[in-house]
Structure formats: C-alpha cells, structure tokens
Structure 1
Amino acid sequence: MNELHLLLILHLLGATIWVGGHILLSVVILPQVWKEKSVDKLFNFESRYEWFGMPALLVMLLTGARMAYLYNVKIDTWFAFETPIERVISFKLSCLIAIALFALSAQFYVLPRLKNNIEKLPLMTFHILSVTVISIVMLILGSFVRYGGI
C-alpha cells in the first residue's frame, strides 16, 4: 500500500464520519426537533457528535492537503482552477470555506440564541441543511479525482 492509498482510506473514513453525521442530523434528529418543538435533542446530538466529527474533519484537512501535494497541486495553485485536478481541489476548498462560515455563524450567532428562542430553529435548520448539502457536494467532487478531475 502506498502513501496515496493510505491517505485516501483515512480521508474516506473521515468523510464517512463527517457526511454520515450530517445526514443523520438532517434526516433523523432535525425532524424530531421540529416535531417536538424542543431543541434539546439538537444540543444533545451536537455535544456528542462534536468530539467525533471535528477530529474527522481534521483528518480530512490533513490528508486532503497531503494528497493535493501528491497530485502536484501546491498551495499556490489551490485556487487556480486551471487543471482538472486543481479544479476539484479548488472547488472542495471553496466548499470548505463555506462550511467554516456556516460553522462560525452557528457557533457564535445562531446556537446561543436558539437555546432561549425556538424561533431561531428555521435559521439553524438552514445552516444544518446547507452544511449537509455542501458536504455531499464535496464527497461527489472528490470522486472525480479518480477520473482525472473536472
């Protein structure tokens, strides 16, 4: 097994945890929260998933950066969009920035207000569904590497 294959396995394991957790949140937890009009399950899920999801995200960041270098896409061309592989990496990084912005908004604006105000649930739902869709898009983008990029 070479380095690239090992990195890909670790990257896919991280993606399984990250994307799977967000799909679970979107299709199981979130409907229960809406049905019960109680955000307790949401906060409970977040506190339990965070210790598992964040390390998975870190693994994906580290393995993704290393794989980019192994594909000869250096940091100075990460947003060049010139070659097919550069496009995949650039689009994935753009998605990652969007996820980071949603995460910052959720952590510092939405979640603190949601604890005391159920009326923030639609905004939190938008954040959750957006991150889930973006995460799935990143997964799909990654699959194009096998075919030389997009």
Structure 2
Amino acid sequence: MIKIITILHVLGASVWVGGHLILLLRFLPQALREKNPGIILAFEKKYEPIGVPALLLQVITGIILGYHYQISLFSFKNQFDITFNLKLILLLMTILFGVHARFFLIPKLNEKNLNSLAYHILAVTLLSIGFVYLGISFRTGY
C-alpha cells in the first residue's frame, strides 16, 4: 500500500512542479514580452483545476507517508524529521504566496503590475523544486 501512496505523491508532484515550470518558462516570458496578463490568466484557468488537486493529493499522501515513517512534527532530530518539517515550511510558504496572489494580485492584474505576479510565479516554482529536492532526500540523504 505504501508504494501506491508514494506513486500518488510523486504523480501529484509531477503535475504541480511541471505545471509551474511550464508557466514560468513558457507562458510568463510571453506575457511579460507582450505585456498581456491574459496569457497568465488563461493558463491559470486551465491549470488550476488539476494543479490544486495535485497539491492537495501531495498533502494527503505526504501526511500518510509521514505517519508511516513515524515523523515527529517540529522535530529536527533525524534526517526524516528534518526533511518532512522542511517540506511543511515550504508548503506553508507556497500557501501564503498562493493566497496573496489569488486574493490580492490576480483580481487587479493588469500590464502595469504583471511583474509582481511574475515574482510570485518564480517563487512558487522555486519552492516546488525545493519540494522535489527534499522528497528525493528522503531516500538519498542530503
């Protein structure tokens, strides 16, 4: 059963990280070049229905995996605790960026403030890559 949970976790990560890399490397440069926030909004409209559930899948499966590996919350006494708790910190940061973008940037998005959203996209993508690094660290160490 734990293999299936791990596969679901990795699939969720693939969707989440892959979507953000595509947004950062393909759609964002075009939107900035053309000063067209509609490009980002169109991507978000199509990606969000699969991206957000993928993140939720990672959270649920991550909790199950943490329970399976007997992780201690807010403890940094071994590699597994450190890695898991660092992933929780990245998750909190991702949620904060997402809430800020969803409620404060996207509703007022225009060509003048597109750069602010670009920084959010970069940050969330880097956090996502951090998730991948930490996830691999469970098996390989740092």
Asked if these proteins are the same fold (TM beyond 0.5), I'd say yes
Q: Look up the match of 1:127.
A: 120
Letter of the structure 2 residue corresponding to residue 112 of structure 1: P
1:1-150 correspondence to structure 2 within 5 Å? 3-73=1-71, 77-114=72-109, 117-147=110-140, 149-150=141-142
Deviation per residue, 1:30-84 (Å, 9 max, x gap): 00101111111110000000001011111101100000000011xxx32212211
Structure 1 unaligned segments of length 5 or more: list them.
none
Q: Distance in 2 between matches of 1:56 and 1:27?
A: 20
Identity of aligned residues (%): 38
Q: Distance in 2 between matches of 1:61 and 1:135?
A: 13
Deviation per residue, 1:83-138 (Å, 9 max, x gap): 11000000000000000000010011111111xx3221111000000000000011
Q: Distance in 1 between matches of 2:67 and 2:53?
A: 21
Q: Distance in 2 between matches of 1:17 and 1:100?
A: 17
User: Where in structure 1 do 4 or more consecutive aligned residues deviate above 6 Å?
Assistant: none
Q: Distance in 1 between matches of 2:93 and 2:11?
A: 22
Query: 2:32 touches 2:115 (CA, 8 Å); kept in 1?
Result: no
Structure 2 unaligned segments of length 5 or more: list them.
none
SS of the equivalent of 1:118 reads coil
Paired residues, what number? 142
Q: Distance in 2 between matches of 1:141 and 1:96?
A: 12
Q: TM-score, normalised by structure 1?
A: 0.91
Q: TM-score, normalised by structure 2?
A: 0.96
